[in-house]
Structure 1
């Protein structure tokens, strides 16, 4: 099959340029919206660690992971949670590419992880053209509240990202970064 014959979903998953305005991708996003709606509106004692539709949607869930409500993800299928990972209230993960969250990693409230990079040309952007780059958080990472992680970033194990930081480049293991853009302390 040539690149031209690939579906927009296949292009997205392959890390190629694709149109996010594709009907099949919209079906996938609607499934995710339904799952996060159930998760976000269930009583906490009935929901447990996460709503059942959300648990069915996510790509991988380790043991004893907890996602507080409200939560949002764009597809869910590309999200992988390691054992004992914790996502506090208000986290947003736009997982058009793989997002891997390591074991023991904690995300503070309102952390945002973005995988899509939109076309810079306004004509192409209006066509919904984007490319998705993976985001990886190693084991035992702590992301402070309100931090933003942009497409293609890897944060090494045991690293800390200060609250409100904007992470624009990889973070070495065991490093603490703060600011906009985030830099080592």
Structure 2
């Protein structure tokens, strides 16, 4: 099994630089070089940054916007859907795959991590790691400072509150908050009439079925 296969297998593997083969080393530094260019671009260089993102990520939709700075381990393990927006300081620890659906919004200072280390200190001392993929559904909003941990799935349409630490799966159509992140309530008819407590939306919003 190659190092890349081990990275995506969920099994323990040696993640030290000495264990990385030539091909992975090349991928690692290609990502770092591209993100250096991305993060040092001029504010109006929107198309330039978009072109870089299409080189960094495994796949993207037609519309993608990420505010610099952006940090990623590999980039090539991140899959982004249509109409994706992320505010500044998004960190992607994409040692395994990160799948992000359509119409996803991410607030500042969010971390999405697939990489983890064993609790056993002797194994950590030997640079052992394991990785679990993250799945984020369509129409998800992730609040500022949230941490999405390895192996988590977030269902379609859900909202993750600011500062939440998501350690377990979150179902579709809910508001979830806290550390550890828990479901606070379902998204209901009230949310289609009011956008903030008693503030009315003022126009009709068609609710998706399912």
TM-score (structure 2 length as normaliser)? 0.81
Query: 1:7: which partner in 2?
Result: 2
Query: 2:55: which partner in 1?
Result: 56
What secondary structure does 1:76 align onto? coil
Alpha-carbon deviation of 1:93?
A: 0.7
Q: Is this contact kept in 1: 2:104–2:139, CA < 8 A?
A: yes
Query: 2:20: which partner in 1?
Result: 23
Q: Compared with structure 1, are the counterparts of its residues 80 and 98 closer, same or farther at alpha carbon in structure 2 (3 Å cutoff)?
A: same
Whole-angstrom distance in 2 between the partners of 1:49 and 1:131: 34
Q: Is this contact kept in 2: 1:15–1:133, CA < 8 A?
A: yes
Unaligned runs of 5+ in 2: 185-210
Query: 1:146: which partner in 2?
Result: 145
1:74-96 CA-partner distances (Å, limit 9, x unpaired): 00111011000111100101001
TM-score (structure 1 length as normaliser)? 0.91
1:33-54 CA-partner distances (Å, limit 9, x unpaired): 1111111001132243735344
Q: Is this contact kept in 1: 2:110–2:145, CA < 8 A?
A: yes
Q: Is this contact kept in 2: 1:154–1:170, CA < 8 A?
A: yes
Query: 1:169: which partner in 2?
Result: 168
What secondary structure does 1:123 align onto? helix
Identify the structure with bigger relative contact order (alpha carbons < 8 Å, sequence gap 6+): 1
Aligned residues: 180
Unaligned runs of 5+ in 1: 1-5
Q: Compared with structure 1, are the counterparts of its residues 146 and 49 closer, same or farther at alpha carbon in structure 2 (3 Å cutoff)?
A: farther
Query: 1:115: which partner in 2?
Result: 114
Q: Is this contact kept in 1: 2:67–2:87, CA < 8 A?
A: yes
Q: Which has the larger radius of gyration?
A: 2
What secondary structure does 1:9 align onto? helix
Whole-angstrom distance in 2 between the partners of 1:37 and 1:157: 32
Off by >3 Å, runs of 4+ in structure 1: 51-54
Whole-angstrom distance in 2 between the partners of 1:133 and 1:15: 6
Q: Is this contact kept in 1: 2:58–2:78, CA < 8 A?
A: yes
Q: Is this contact kept in 2: 1:49–1:64, CA < 8 A?
A: no
